[in-house]
Amino acid sequence: MSVSPFQWLRALARRLDFHLNRDRYARELSEEMALHLELKQRDLELSGVPAGETAAAAHRQFGDTARLAESSAEVMSMGWLEQSVQDARYALRSMRAHPTFTLAAVSSLALGIGAATAVFVLVNAMLLAPLPFPNAERLVVPYRALTPGIVTAADTVPWSHARYEALRSAVPAFEEAGFATWDEVNVRTTPGGGTERIVMEFMTPSLFQALGVGPARGRGFQQQDADEAPVALVSDGFWRRALAGDSTALGREIIVNGTPVTVIGVLPASFAGFHEGAQLWIPLEALPMLIAGRGGQPPRVDRRMGVMVARVRQDVSIAAANEQVGAALARIDEESPEPFTRPGSVWSAGVLPLAEARRHPLVEPLLGIFSLVVGGVLLIVCANVAGLMLARARARRGEIGVRIALGGGRSRLVRQFLTESMLLATVGAVPGVILGQLAAVAIAKHRPDLPASFVLLRSTDLLEGVSLAPDWRIAAFAVALTLIVAMLFGAAPALAVSRQSASGLLKVADATRGSVSAPGRKLLAVVQVALAVCLLTGAAVMLRSSAALLRTDLGFEPEGLAMVRIAPSEAGLGVAARQAEWLARIAALPGVHGVATHNCLPFAGDCMLGPITGVDDRAAEEGTYPPIEHHLLSPDYLRVMGTPLLAGRTLDAAGDSSAEAPAVLVNETAARLLWPDISPIGRTVRISPDPEAPPFEVVGVVADARFDGLDQPVRPAIYRSGGDGGSVLLVRTAGDPASLIPLVRREIAAQDPGVALHDATTGVAVVRDAASSVVFVAGFLTTFAILAMVLAAIGLYGVLAYQVTQRSREFGIRMAIGASRARVMAMVMRQGAAVVLAGVLAGSAVAWWGTPFLSRFLHGIGPRDAGTYALTFFLVAAVGLVAAFIPARRATRVEPVLALRE
């Protein structure tokens, strides 16, 4: 018979009503039954049954009221739902009854689930969150790379505007394409106000069309903009900060590098451009009005290098677009070669999805490592809680035996256990997820500085989206994770219960036999130790690597060194023009031991590189030597930076740069490279493509100083006097260098208000940042490895302590018939040692397979460093034996007499 949904719903409503008003229903039923019996009695009396017997007769014919009431209630039962509620109630009661067990299980679950959630929040923000563009999956970044294989920014050549124009019209798959380049500019928002150094993007208006982004306020770029005074769009942040979020600010003029620019619109907060920190956007045509070219020439827009973003047409696949770009570029390069991409030098060209191009190539391996680590910790947590549950299942075997013997269904019992696991997992998950979100926010705040030069498109900070705000992906993850975890640790005890027979469970006399689930628990302990060994090995390798990295010989003295960039003033006054005066003023500040200028910051990737075109009288063929680093400095540089002079003399203030053969210094690497067998002093080197330019004469050799990265090989370098490229101010002090920077800022602002100081940092900070990704990974791994070790030790302790309790009678008997305490202790220790040994061997094997994944973060140490493995081995063995020792000693404290009497 079919039941209509309406009927079904009404029945459900009635059932619910019954369950919510159980008492009323019971009262009413008993009232009905009482009336029934009374009327029956009356009828029986009328039919002649003696008065004394009517009550009994009525009851006899009616049946057992209690049983009937029960079967009446059964009609209303809600099946599994009601049983689940019962199970949950029961589970809650037993959780309350065993607070220690509950606290241990819930807190370790909270830790495990929290760790997994934290990593998922990061994955969500960096890999899963959608880009803030419509149909973002059609957006691609065309690239050309000089190396085969993986494409990182370091392997690609940026596009010139000319190439962009050529490619754009040559690729039919592009629905629209745009180009953006950038520069740092000095910006004043009020005529008399201070000057800020800001990243400005120059872009073709077609870029906004390709992206599908329009201004949130005001208007976008239009065709006629090109003919008039420059117009700009500003970021939401700039509008709120510098323009006070004023809607009347639209149409206002701001001063960019001395030129008035009209603000016409504000972009949505989600748009951050394609260069880190970009706050202003201006049509590319306006570039010559704002940026000075080299050597007084107007800048050539067609030679500007930048990024390209294209939208692929709906009816063309991304793969097809990829091929079209490769083919088109080959053709274009053939027709009009560019100097930096000689024919044959481009290995591959194509398109990358925008989402991928924005991501740092280290992000995926980093998140991969994190996921493995938290996965490991989560497994240990599951194993631990499963162990606890098994121990409790064992303690409850009496209860379970009775239930089975009385006809309790096994499936019901299994469900009871799973309900308990579910409840535990849920109670642990709530604080866990909150903890995880907090941790993710903290990680996002203190994340490592990944070298940005590897990102194809520097863009919005992907971790900016990490917050405590609710997110359906995170919620879904947390729910799924809780379910899986509950199944993982709940399965073992549930299976253990379902396998046992009632008689076995009810027998008390088998206490001397090992627990039924002992092998299972030991296996769990082995797994825990193995996982802890894996994590510890990884952590140890990373720690040794980061220590090695921080010990790297820098070639300069980072302590007490303040560094700040100086942007040329609006009037075009570079450092060179005012250098002498500034340096004198700053040198006079209290606490300053020395001041110098330089053209680049360590580890910022902004040092100039150039070819070596001649050594002594020989001309050097292109490609004979690797490129050489150009350092332009003021006279005090070596002393301020703390780079030792190894031979010859330093550069002096005057003369050196103007002489016929200007004096230069070279670093050790350059000396070894160019004059392997002889002293470089007095030799000459050419670094200009112009053969008429005078050569440089080497007057001294300095120690190798690292500018490229802590783990990069030192490049050959040449040091010469000069300030025209110089833009970094170096100040040495005996005190705190960071506190010196405001003083320097004030001193320079007092003289030249149009000059902007930016990117202030200290020597210690740049070194720390350069090592941060390795230190961060090491810290992360170490934290979790220690957590894993502690959990594994607790797990091992739990197994052995439990066994000792179970076998105390046996130990008592053994000692009563003459076994020494040492022997009993050895018995327990042997079991512990077996678990530890098995775990260490299994863990080392997995680590041997897994640590090469860390290679990208390792420096000065191999992933399979034998010393590290030995260290881990002994550490885990020591911790494991301590964990085993406590229960072993307890075994020897068993009083034979008491144990026997039990």
Partner 1 sequence: MAKTSGKSDMLPGTLEMLILKTLTLGEMHGYGIAAHIQRLSADVLQVEEGSLYPALQRLQLKGWVSSAWGKTPTNRRARYYKLTAAGRKQLASEVSDFSRVLGAIQAVMEGT
- Calculate Rg over the CA atoms of the chain: 38
Determine the size of the site formed for partner 1 (CB under 8 A): 27
64 near partner 1, rule: CB under 8 A: yes
Q: Output 63 or 713, the one with its CB closest to partner 1.
A: 63
62 near partner 1, rule: CB under 8 A: yes
735: number of Cβ within 10 Å: 13
Query: What are the residues facing 140 on neighbouring strands?
Result: 310, 353
33 near partner 1, rule: CB under 8 A: yes
Q: Output 4 or 336, the one with its CB closest to partner 1.
A: 4
550 exposure class (CB count in 10 Å sphere: 0-12, 13-18, 19+)? middle
DSSP state of 734: S
Residue span binding partner 1 (CB under 8 A) among the ranges 29-37, 537-545, 569-577, 765-773: 29-37
- The sign of the CA dihedral 266, 268, 270, 274 is negative
Residue span binding partner 1 (CB under 8 A) among the ranges 39-47, 531-539, 688-696, 760-768: 39-47
Q: Which residues are CB-neighbours of 871 under 8 A, at least 6 positions away? A: 540
46 near partner 1, rule: CB under 8 A: no
17 near partner 1, rule: CB under 8 A: no
- Interacting residues with partner 1 between 122 and 161 (CB under 8 A): none
Please state, in angstroms and rounded to a whole number, the distance separating the CA atoms of residues 775 and 795. Answer: 30
CB 646 within 8 A of CB 701: yes
Residue span binding partner 1 (CB under 8 A) among the ranges 55-63, 499-507, 643-651, 798-806: 55-63
Q: How far is CA 634 from CA 605, 656, 669, 848, in A?
A: 21, 11, 22, 51
553 near partner 1, rule: CB under 8 A: no
- Among 21, 28, 446, 573, the residue binding partner 1 under the rule CB under 8 A is 28
CB of 408 to partner 1, least distance (A): 23
56 near partner 1, rule: CB under 8 A: no
31 near partner 1, rule: CB under 8 A: yes
CB of 48 to partner 1, least distance (A): 15
Q: Output 2 or 658, the one with its CB closest to partner 1.
A: 2
Residue span binding partner 1 (CB under 8 A) among the ranges 24-32, 476-484, 632-640, 884-892: 24-32
Please state, in angstroms and rounded to a whole number, the distance separating the CA atoms of residues 96 and 142. Answer: 62
CB of 466 to partner 1, least distance (A): 52
Q: Output 29 or 435, the one with its CB closest to partner 1.
A: 29
Please state, in angstroms and rounded to a whole number, the distance separating the CA atoms of residues 634 and 731. Answer: 12
Residue span binding partner 1 (CB under 8 A) among the ranges 70-78, 602-610, 789-797, 840-848: 70-78
CB of 35 to partner 1, least distance (A): 6
32 near partner 1, rule: CB under 8 A: yes
- Among 22, 27, 36, 499, the residue binding partner 1 under the rule CB under 8 A is 36
Please state, in angstroms and rounded to a whole number, the distance separating the CA atoms of residues 402 and 667. Answer: 85
Q: Output 13 or 405, the one with its CB closest to partner 1.
A: 13
442 near partner 1, rule: CB under 8 A: no
CB 553 within 8 A of CB 864: no
CB of 71 to partner 1, least distance (A): 5
35 near partner 1, rule: CB under 8 A: yes
- Interacting residues with partner 1 between 73 and 92 (CB under 8 A): 74-76
Q: Output 55 or 76, the one with its CB closest to partner 1.
A: 76
71 near partner 1, rule: CB under 8 A: yes
Please state, in angstroms and rounded to a whole number, the distance separating the CA atoms of residues 871 and 370. Answer: 23
Residue span binding partner 1 (CB under 8 A) among the ranges 56-64, 142-150, 670-678, 802-810: 56-64
605 exposure class (CB count in 10 Å sphere: 0-12, 13-18, 19+)? middle
- Here the tokens at position 132 are 């803030």
63 near partner 1, rule: CB under 8 A: yes
846 exposure class (CB count in 10 Å sphere: 0-12, 13-18, 19+)? middle
Half-sphere exposure of 404 (CA within 13 A, CB side): 20
Which residue in 613, 610, 591, 600 sits closest to 641, CA to CA? 600
Q: Output 68 or 580, the one with its CB closest to partner 1.
A: 68
Q: Which residues are CB-neighbours of 106 under 8 A, at least 6 positions away? A: 424, 427, 428
26 near partner 1, rule: CB under 8 A: no
Dihedral angle of Cα 401, 405, 411, 417, to the nearest 10 degrees: -20
Q: Output 63 or 689, the one with its CB closest to partner 1.
A: 63
Q: Angle at Cα 429 formed by Cα 425 and Cα 434, nearest 5°? A: 170
The SS3 assignment for 759 reads: strand
Q: Output 12 or 405, the one with its CB closest to partner 1.
A: 12
Please state, in angstroms and rounded to a whole number, the distance separating the CA atoms of residues 572 and 258. Answer: 9
252 near partner 1, rule: CB under 8 A: no
CB of 60 to partner 1, least distance (A): 10
Query: What are the residues facing 283 on neighbouring strands?
Result: 203
Q: Output 47 or 224, the one with its CB closest to partner 1.
A: 47
Residue span binding partner 1 (CB under 8 A) among the ranges 30-38, 367-375, 618-626, 886-894: 30-38
- Among 68, 476, 573, 900, the residue binding partner 1 under the rule CB under 8 A is 68
- Interacting residues with partner 1 between 862 and 901 (CB under 8 A): none
53 near partner 1, rule: CB under 8 A: no
808-831: string of b/e by CB count within 10 Å (b at 16+)? bbbbbbbbeeebeeeebbbbbbeb
Ordered strands of the 728-733 beta sheet: 592-598, 728-733, 561-567, 756-762
Q: Which residues bind partner 1 (CB under 8 A)?
A: 7, 10-11, 14-15, 28-29, 31-33, 35-36, 39-40, 43, 61-65, 68-69, 71-72, 74-76
